[in-house]
Amino acid sequence: MKQLIQNFKNGNLFVDEVPVPALGPGMVFIKNEYSLISAGTEKNTVKVAQSSIIGKARQRPDLVAQVLQNVKSEGLMATLNKVKTRLDAPKALGYSTCGTVVASLDQDLQFKPGDRVACAGQDYASHAEYVCIPQNLVAKVPDKVSSEEAAFTTLGAIALQGVRQAQPNLGENICVIGLGLIGQITCQLLKANGCKVFGIDLDPHLIDLAISTSAHNALLRGDSNLMSAIMDFTDGNGFDAVIITAAAKSNDPIELSAEIARKKGKIVVVGSVKMDIPRDPHFYRKELDLKMSCSYGPGRYDTNYEENGIDYPVGYVRWTEQRNMQAFLNLLARKSINLKPLISHIFEIEQAGLAYDLITGKNHHTFLGILLKYSHHEENQSSWIPVNTIPRKEINAGFIGAGNFAQAHLIPIAKKSLISLDGVATSRGITAKNVAEKFGFNYCTTSPDDILQNDNIDTVFIATPHSSHAALTIQALQSGKNVFVEKPLAINLVQLKDIVRSKDFNQRTLMVGFNRRFAPLANLIKDEFKSTSEPMVINMRINAGYIPKNHWQQQIEKEGGRIIGEMCHFIDLMQYFTGAQPVKVYADCMNTSNELLTSFDNIAVVIKFSDGSIGNLIYTANGDKSLPKELIEVFCGSKIGVIQDFKEGTIHSGGKTRKIKISGKGHCEQISAFVTSIKNGQPSPISFQSICLTTLTTFKIHDCLMTGLPQTIDLSDVIFRDSDCN
């Protein structure tokens, strides 16, 4: 399919052929008819991408701070690789489209093939022939609404949410500052609500358009008669509410709104403007009410709502993103809103470059609402696109999942290990195509089946979200592939049992990305204690860092949470040092009334091993980033081995201290060991039994936290028996 893409590194805009997006649970697969270019938002996005590295840094100082912190914690080269990966990532543009449903996996069975729908969402409702949209960001288009009009729905919902924040009453005087697309729609919504509308802008064309469609009066910001016209319009009282829909780097819209609002009036900020709030004379003396309007309504930035499809009950949240979208479409159907005067240009998707020449100022023609149109061909629905014809090597690999971690570590290392990179699958076509071109894959796809069912591929790397690891591992094993799956192997006991059963029928190599046991420092510590037979005492302190509750890693039911997804590394490392099996575990977590904190992120775990060793794991998310993330201490046979953040180590023995400086967390070494085991027909570098025990231990930690009781770790819990079928 054709999709408009921007290279964020150099700012280039181009239309490319990419695989269609993958349809997942809770998603709706749609054939676009039109998409709307949001001139304000997209102009800013394009200009940031087209600026220099220094220009990008100036506009995003928050990201610069993250980079500097990352240098401290992970080192310069690792940070540069991470930044390079992010800059190389292609960016999808657009967030407001209209099209026809091709297929749907929405939970409520609301959308059927053939339904016309409006779509919203950055990185979802893109300028592309086909899109895949979460169900709560899709709304049905009434028959009386044209597809051109419906493509405006996201911007209409943004305007509608701003109006709702102002809570206008019939007959009130409302001012709209900024008469671009959202401002024009806001004026029409206010007029439909029975308000007297006054508009202010810098552009004479927009002033005339507002007067002709919705505003009872409108003037230029620099008009010498502006203040007297406002006093006349409001009978000397000032506006009941001011809605700022402008985009401005200056503080003028805020200062002006305070000046023209009546006493105890409302000011609602919809657009991106500077907000240095002057206390005197107006905000304080008039007791003004300043409100922010968050995009297109409740649900915005809530992962559970937008991505997981969990709606808010209408009795408690009357107007959500989706309900605002539907309300706007209903207003269009009743002809309360007229968008035709706002459409200035329509371009075919192949001509998208001309559209962006308008909004970036390369073409100086007047514009407002710019639509991209899609003319479809059946051959454009492919999930598979060839990229190269590089000859295959001894090990022919396919990657399923290619996010930042895979691009920074797994794929480059695999390529250096003389593995043939045949196919790569990701859920988004632009990512798949970019990764294939960047690393030299022969083809890209959005369907894992194109990897799993390829008989030429003998080895599969799985680096997808945690929830899909088990199912993809099972499919790969059943297809007779060697498998490298990023941790965790599974997120619940049922999944682990299914993997055990599948592994019983496939003796190919299965490896999980527990990389720390392969780190050079871990090997040195292991060697230091190889002649000691007594049990070990191991202490690990992990300053993991705070992750908000709405982050995908915190979704325990869906993605396993941090105990299963991260702590598994350190349980595996304890097994490596002791050479023994975990047999019992006890865990407890912090109790807090702070709703921002996740108790399971702040936890103490004690693990007993079969040789008598004991491991203590302190995992905390409420510390400070200035402290190194990982401290490992091994006590045994009158010796102590210490690893500090896998950058340096210390051996304490015979009253002397020996310092070791070797960095690396074992990513290269683990891939090398995996490849060698396949070439030589050897067992997996980590035994399947050990992998299962590590995974089972993470489940038992959860059981400890739920019951408050120690838990026994026994592989019989996961061994598949015939009686399990009964």
**How many C-beta atoms surround the C-beta of residue 237 within 10 A?**
13
Task: Find, among 645, 647, 599, 596, the residue nearest to 620 by Cα.
Answer: 599
Q: What is the mean pLDDT of residues 694-717?
A: 96
54: confidence class by pLDDT, cuts 50, 70, 90: low
User: Of 486, 514, 542, which residue constitutes the final position of a domain?
Assistant: 514
* Residue 701 forms part of a structural domain: yes
The confidence band for 55, taking pLDDT boundaries of 50, 70 and 90, is low
Q: What is the pLDDT of residue 80?
A: 66
Tell me: do 642 and 701 sit in the same domain.
yes
In a domain, 726, yes or no: no
Nearest CA to 157 out of 331, 394, 292 is that of 331
DSSP, residue by residue, 120-186: E-TTTS-SBSEEEEEGGGEEEPPTTS-HHHHTTHHHHHHHHHHHHHH---TT-EEEEE--SHHHHHH
Instruction: Tell me the per-residue pLDDT of 205-220, one tens digit each, with 9 for 90 and over.
Output: 999 999 999 999 999 9
| CATH number of the domain within which 531 lies | 3.30.360.10
More confident position, 625 or 468: 468
- Structural domain of residue 237, as residue ranges? 155-292
Judge if 135 and 170 occupy the same domain: no
First to last CA, the chain: 48
Look-up of token digits 């023995």:
653
Residues 327 and 226 in one domain: no
Judge whether 310 lies within some domain: no
Q: With pLDDT > 90 as the criterion, what percentage of the chain qualifies?
A: 80
**434 vs 551, which has greater pLDDT?**
434
Q: Is 40 part of any domain?
A: yes
- The CA dihedral of 597, 599, 601, 603, to the nearest 10 degrees, is 140
pLDDT tens across 81-122, in order? Answer: 666 666 677 899 999 999 999 999 999 999 999 999 999 999
User: What's the confidence (pLDDT) of residue 392?
Assistant: 85
Q: Rounded to the nearest 10 degrees, how much is the dihedral formed by the CA atoms of 617, 622, 626, 631? A: 0
User: Given a cut of 60, is residue 722 above it in pLDDT?
Assistant: no
Q: Once rounded to an integer, what is the mean pLDDT over residues 190-205?
A: 97
The token pair that represents 608 in the structure block: 């007993």
What's the confidence (pLDDT) of residue 531? 87
pLDDT at residue 72, as a whole number = 63
For residues 345-356, average pLDDT: 94
Q: Are residues 121 and 170 in the same domain?
A: no
Indicate if 408 and 487 belong to the same structural domain. Answer: yes
Q: Does one domain contain both 690 and 574?
A: yes
**549 within domain boundaries:** yes
The answer to whether residues 203 and 225 belong to one domain is: yes
Helix (H) or strand (E) holding 68: helix 61-74
Identify whether residues 649 and 539 lie together within a single domain. Answer: yes
Q: Shortest CA distance to 273 belongs to which of 290, 297, 296?
A: 290
Q: What angle do CA 609, 613, 616 make, to 5 degrees?
A: 90
Instruction: Indicate if 394 and 362 belong to the same structural domain.
Output: no
Segment 231-255 shows an average pLDDT of: 96
Quote the pLDDT of residue 226. 98
- For residue 703, being part of any structural domain is answered with yes
Look at residue 406 and tell me whether its pLDDT is greater than 80. Answer: yes
> Do 567 and 690 fall into the same domain?
yes
Number of domains in the chain: 4
Look up residue 26 and give its two tokens. Answer: 């809770």
Q: H or E segment at 13?
A: strand 13-17
Q: What is the model's pTM?
A: 0.88
* Same structural domain, 395 and 361: no
AA letter at 81: N
Cite the beta strand spans of 38-137 per DSSP E: 90-92, 96-104, 116-120, 130-134
Q: Output the domain CATH number for residue 251.
A: 3.40.50.720
The domain spanning residue 9 has which CATH number?
3.90.180.10
Task: Kindly report the length of the chain.
Answer: 726
Domain boundary among 335, 355, 378: 378
Query: In terms of domains, do 504 and 546 share one?
Result: no
Q: Is residue 723 part of a domain?
A: no
* Each residue's pLDDT tens digit, 464-479: 999 999 999 999 999 9
Asked, for residue 312, whether it belongs to a domain, the answer is no
Single residue among 245, 270, 292 that ends a domain in this structure: 292
